[in-house]
Structures are given as C-alpha cells and as structure tokens.
A and B are shown apart, each in its own frame.
Chain A
Amino acid sequence: MSAETKEREPLFSAKNMKLVTKPLNMDNPITVQVLGICSALAVTAKLKPAIVMSISVMVVLAVSNVVVSLLRNGIPQRIRIIVQLVVIATMVILVDQVLKAFVYDISKQLSVFVGLIITNCILMGRLEAFAMGNKPWPAFLDGIGNALGYGLILVIIAFFRELLGSGTLFDYHVIPQAFYDFGYKNNGLMILPPMALITVGVIIWIQRNRNRDLIEK
C-alpha cells in the first residue's frame, strides 16, 4: 500500500502544476499558439461578457478534456475528431441550457457566444493534442490551465477596450466627467473588432519582447 502511494504521482506535483501555469504565459493559447482569436475579438468589447465567456470555456474545456481522456483508449482513430466534436457540442449545449434555466440574465448577455464555444479552436486543439494521450487528472488540469490562459488575455483586452472605448469598467463610469469637459472623447474604434486584433498584437509584442525565447528564428 505504502509503496503504491509512493509511486503514484501527487495530485499537485510540479509537473502537474506546470500544466496549469504554462498556458498562462509561455504556452498561452491566444498569444503563443494563436488559437481562439475569433472569440477573443467578439466578446471583449466589455469586461463582463469576457469573464463569463472565460468561465464557460473553462467548464466546457475541463469537462470535455476529462471525458475524452477517459474514452481515449476506445475512440476509433478514424473518427476521433468527430467524437471530440460531439463531446464538445454536447457540453456546450448543456452549459447553454443550464445557464438559460438558472442564470437567465447572464445567458442573455452571452447570447450566441456560448454556442460559439464549439468553434473555439482551443478546445479541439487541447482535446486532440493533450486529452487523447493523457490520463483524466492531467487532462483536467490542462483544460483549466488553457482556459485560464485564454481568459487572462480576454480580460486584458476587454479591460483596455472597455476603458478606452466606453470609458467604463464593468459598466461603471471610471473616467471622470472633467476629462470629457476638457474635450476627451471615448475612442469608438476600440469597440470595433479590428482594435481588438491590434490589442492582441500589442500583447504579443510585449510578451515576446520580455521573453526572447518565444521569437521565431
């Protein structure tokens, strides 16, 4: 018994924790792997939807990762992508239905974006690259980590877009009226998707500037 527990890896070993922390910076799904850009542009005009979207992605990604990891030895190779899609789609619809039944207000704010989680490349990417070849617990941590990395970038983008585009944070006005009296204006361009893309670009630029290893030769 004791020998067995010794051999078993602790739940929060350094290796496992790396699965959570790596996607936050060095292996970020948006800025390094360049996945999930579409939704990063679509839901980041305000902070609140960005955060709820991140949480929804986290639930869907963590659960789908675990399910696919449990099934990984039985999934026929030739239809594995279809199986992964079915798992993701089922999860997304369940999340959407539960949100609609119990937190109707939030589900309304997210409207179509919850459904769009299905098309988020990060999910397919993690299922195919990680969950298909790893045990459920690391797969779960990998899902949480990648969703956190995704959410982090979403929140950063949403922060700047809402602040500069609408002058608000969480719908509260933070830019004092005096600024407007002096002729300051909200930058309407920040609300449009192109500026989100440029914000992503700036984040990537800053990240690679601080972290030279990430620069492709």
Chain B
Amino acid sequence: MNNSNGYILRYAAIMVIIAAALLSSAAMLLKPFQERNMAIEKMGGILDAAGIHGVTTDDMIASFNKYVTEEVVINQEGKVVEEYKEGAKENGKAFALGLKEQYYNKSQGKPYELPLYILTKDDETVYIIPMLGTGLWGPIWGNIALKSDLNTVVGVYFDHKGETPGLGAEITTDPFKKQFVGKKIFDDKGNFTSIEVVKGGAQKLPKNMQIHGVDAISGGTITSKGVDAMLKNVLESYLPYFNQIRKNK
C-alpha cells in the first residue's frame, strides 16, 4: 500500500472535494422541499394556537390563507409598520421576519419589529403572537392566541429544538397546552401579569392570581422557566401595540 505523504495528501484532498460536492449538491437540491416543510410547519403552529387542528400538510397553505385575514408588522412603539390584507400572505414580510434577530435587537436596546397575525375564526377575531425563547438545551418557540379583548388566551402552541423527551419536551403536548386556554394576561386593574408557569402547580398561587398561572412540568423545570420567561418577554413587547388598539376602540 502506498503510504507516501504525497499520496495521503492527494487522497485526503480528493476525498474532501467529493464529500463537499456531494453534500452541497444534496443541500441545494433538497432546500426547496425543506423550506416548504418549514413554512408549512410555521403555518400549522399559527393555526394550532388558534385552535384549528387537524389540517393536513397538503391543505395547510390554503387553510392558512383562508383563516389569516391580516398580517401586521409592528415596531417597538407599537406602531403598525406594514400590513398585509390580501393574498399571498405566506410571502408577506411578517411571515418572513426572523424573531431571533428582532429579540436580539430588543435585548440590545435597539429598534425592532415584530410580527402579528390576525385570524377570523367563527366570526371572531383572534390575535396570534409568535414567541421565541430559550429552554434547557436550545431554543423554544411557539405562538399564543388572544381573544379580541387582548387579554384572554384562546390557545397556545409550543415547539422546541432539543428539549429532553418525556421531560422538557412535554411542553408540546396537549395536557400542558390546554392549561393556557381561558387564562388572562392582565389582572382586573389592567396591569400586565403575563402567565406564570409555576413549579409545584398553579394552585400554590394566591386565589386571585390563579387565573394567570399554569402548572410547570415536573422534571422539566428549566424548560418551564424558559416558557415563563418567553411569555413575559414576548407579551411585554406587544404592550404598546395593545394600548394603541385599546385607545382606538
């Protein structure tokens, strides 16, 4: 067997070039399929939060365009920057907006823009807010749907990159998500309370606070805390917008 340095170098170089060519062409060929899957998944999450379940992947784009009547981009002062009311919403700016960048800007005290989806379901307006936060092993994200009073939760949707199966990953399951339905993010006086994810159970909270709390996942404490922080951080960013809507009513 040839073991000269020249042979080894040539072998390594050719091997790397072949592997790189193979992988990059596979990535390029498969990219449109993957992006479509991701867009469909995002739409599914938005519809799921609003309580529209069981839409198959094939019908997703059509259903999304049917239910979502408006896509809005707001800025840090709650002003509407852009609105999309007609057609082709999956290509709209709100849909393409990268939350990671925007919340990074927020944490740095820079201006930021945030997306918001307005759905019409059974003649009722539902506001959907996309969320992004951190869990134990990586990012967690989701959507929260609010009634037109901008206070009562219609439903939530959570997803994650790599939380522990059976523990933190349980945030994506129905028993956890169902707890949020009917909870309120403002107290009677109109102060923002967010929704607290309570270790040991929401019944530990004082009576008047229980409407603002849900049970954390046992064994998934850090993920639960991440959900709690995500809700606070995200909902807080939309408060100026909520105030403007309330004023205009």
Contacts and interface: CB of A to CB of B under 8 A. Distances in A.
A76 B27 CA distance: 29
Interface stretch (A3-11, A78-86, A201-209): A78-86
Given A101-B37, A188-B219, A76 B3 contact: yes
B166 A165 contact: yes
A79 B11 contact: yes
A76 B165 contact: no
B201 interface: no
Interface string A148-169: 0000000000000000011000
A78 B3 contact: yes
Contacts of B12: 79, 82-83
Contact of A111 (B162, B167, B218): B162
Nearest to A49: B165
A42 to B, nearest CB: 9
B166 A166 contact: yes
Interface stretch (B16-24, B89-97, B208-216, B231-239): B16-24
Contacts, number: 73
Contacts of B7: 76
In this complex, the interface size class of chain B, counting residues with CB under 8 Å from chain A, is 20 to 34
A41 B15 CA distance: 33
B166 A46 contact: yes
Contacts of A74: 11
A104 interface: yes
Interface residues of A, number: 32
A49 B164 CA distance: 12
Contacts of A49: 165
B37 A104 contact: yes
B166 A191 contact: yes
A104 B38 CA distance: 8
A112 B136 CA distance: 14
Contact of A101 (B19, B30, B167): B30
Nearest to B165: A45
Interface stretch (A23-31, A92-100, A121-129): A92-100
A51 interface: no
Nearest to B8: A76
A77 B3 contact: yes
A94 B1 CA distance: 31
B162 A112 contact: yes
Nearest to B18: A90
A90 B22 contact: yes
A188 B218 contact: yes
A94 B3 contact: no
B30 A97 contact: yes
Contacts of B137: 112
B162 A86 contact: no
Nearest to B10: A76
A191 B167 CA distance: 8
Interface of B: 1-3, 7-8, 11-12, 15-16, 19, 22-23, 26-27, 30, 33-34, 37-38, 41, 137, 161-162, 164-167, 218-219
Given A75-B11, A165-B166, 7 more contacts: A46-B166, A76-B1, A89-B19, A90-B22, A102-B33, A111-B162, A191-B165
17 contacts: A73-B1, A74-B11, A75-B11, A76-B1, A77-B1, A77-B3, A79-B12, A86-B15, A90-B22, A97-B26, A100-B34, A100-B37, A104-B41, A111-B162, A191-B167, A191-B219, A192-B219
